[in-house]
Amino acid sequence: MSGTARIPTLVLGGTGYVAGELLRLIAGHPQLQLAGILSDSKPGEPVAAAFPHLAVAYPDTNYLSVEDTESLVAATPNLAVLAAAPHGISAALIDRLLSVATTAGTKPRVVDISADYRFASADAYQAVYKHPHGAPSRLQEFTCAVPEHLPTLTTPHVAHPGCFATAMLLALVPLVALDLVAPEFYVSGITGSTGSGRAPIEGTHHPRRHSDVYSYGALAHRHAPEVAAIVERLTGRTTQLHFVPHSGPFARGIHATTQARLLRPISSAGVREALASFYADQPFVRVLADAPHMKDIIGSNYAQLSASTDGQSLAVMSVLDNLTKGAAGGAIQWLNRLYGWDQTLGLTAPSAGWT
């Protein structure tokens, strides 16, 4: 593989935390090479000014304008596109670039990390996001799932489910597929402040968030219908999902606890064995006997699960890094799949540990 040319890679989303994580991972990927990064608010400005920790990897790289990006798409026959633009903007931007590619005869492959291509229909999207979809005719070109749950991809492009959604899906899909529990779930999850994006808001202001934990969007968060729709598409079964997200006093990481009623008696060890068997061929998902810890996966593309039962109910605990496995790392894992590479390529670095 070292003798093959690297795939030129375009990042959409400019200065956000997920875009920064994409740039970090691209810098260490043996088959990807950054061709450009779009920022419609900072065209021409240095990437290192927005991400000083990446200055060693991109000392002379400047942000592109939309027009520069269109020229890049038109001139590059085989372009990988990683879209980290905001929800509500990504769909129309991707549609615009794919239209440019069609006219020019180029064939980019897109992984979208926003919510814009997670639903199968424009009506389902509008029901949750309360505004029309930006490119409804493109929805059929995207499939939304975590890589571990979809062995074969039938669309040219893919949508990554997102951070909280990934943590929930890693627990929910095997429980439903293996028919272990009644299809009604109660999920409590806690996320780091980077999950709220780079623009400062009250919920991410350090003096307010430090040493505090609080819920938000209880039983009304947009990820619940997204996750339920993905589970139904993958398993053919309708589920009820009751989700309460929480903000935690840390920057990176998600811990989610999923609870459900058992359909038949099974021990804690039996559930863990079933989960381990389900993910036996998936190197980024590890099932532990003990409770998973976020410090053991921060900065990596690995997720950890564990489970406990009391004879009547079950709890599955899942941890992952919201910026890596839940966003940028999961997207590059999909990109590896789209190009026929080993899905672990460029993603096997262990956790940073004591963050």
Per-residue pLDDT of 294-346, as tens digits, reads 999 999 999 999 999 999 999 999 999 999 999 999 999 999 999 999 999 99
- Residue 110 structural domain: 7-144
User: For residues 268 and 316, what is the distance between their CA atoms, to the nearest angstrom?
Assistant: 10
Report whether 173 contacts 234 (CB < 8 A): yes
- State the amino acid at position 54 in one-letter form: L
User: For residues 33 and 5, what is the distance between their CA atoms, to the nearest angstrom?
Assistant: 9
| Buried-exposed string 296-329: b where 16+ CB fall within 10 A, e elsewhere | ebbbbbbbbbbbbbeeeebbbbbbbbbbbbbbbb
268-280 pLDDT per residue, tens: 999 999 999 999 9
β-pair type (303-309, 285-287): parallel
Residue 75 maps to a domain: yes
Residue 249 maps to a domain: yes
Closest residue by Cα to residue 296 from 333, 253, 330, 347:
253
User: For residues 105 and 185, what is the distance between their CA atoms, to the nearest angstrom?
Assistant: 46
Q: Do 140 and 169 fall into the same domain?
A: no
Residue 1 maps to a domain: no
Distance of CA 23 to the CA centre of its chain: 15
**Both tokens assigned to 35:** 């061709």
Out of 112, 144, 176, a domain closes at: 144
Share of the chain above pLDDT 70, in %: 99
The total domain count for the chain is 2
155-172 pLDDT per residue, tens: 999 999 999 999 999 999
Considering the candidates 163, 230, 254, 256, report the single residue annotated as catalytic.
163
Q: Do 171 and 308 fall into the same domain?
A: yes
111-146 pLDDT per residue, tens: 999 999 999 999 999 999 999 999 999 999 999 999
Q: Across residues 56-80, what is the average pLDDT?
A: 97
- Residue 163 known to be catalytic: yes
Out of 116, 144, 172, a domain closes at: 144
Out of 95, 114, 144, a domain closes at: 144
CATH of the domain at 243: 3.30.360.10
Place of tokens 């990897």: 57
CATH of the domain at 47: 3.40.50.720
Q: Do 125 and 171 fall into the same domain?
A: no
User: For residues 277 and 328, what is the distance between their CA atoms, to the nearest angstrom?
Assistant: 26
User: For residues 121 and 133, what is the distance between their CA atoms, to the nearest angstrom?
Assistant: 9
Identify the burial level of 52 via C-beta atoms within 10 angstroms of its C-beta, where 0-12 means exposed, 13-18 middle and 19 or more buried. exposed
Distance of CA 323 to the CA centre of its chain: 8
User: For residues 302 and 319, what is the distance between their CA atoms, to the nearest angstrom?
Assistant: 9
By 3-state DSSP, what share of the chain in percent is helix, strand and coil, each rounded to 5?
35, 20, 45
**Both tokens assigned to 233:** 């598409």
Residue 312 maps to a domain: yes
28-38 pLDDT per residue, tens: 999 999 999 99
- State the amino acid at position 280 in one-letter form: A
User: For residues 263 and 162, what is the distance between their CA atoms, to the nearest angstrom?
Assistant: 29
Alpha helices, DSSP H, located in the chain? 17-27, 47-50, 66-75, 90-104, 122-129, 163-177, 206-209, 223-235, 268-278, 329-338
Report whether 288 contacts 305 (CB < 8 A): yes
User: For residues 284 and 85, what is the distance between their CA atoms, to the nearest angstrom?
Assistant: 25
Adjacent-strand bridge partners of 158: 111, 143
Adjacent-strand bridge partners of 316: 258, 307
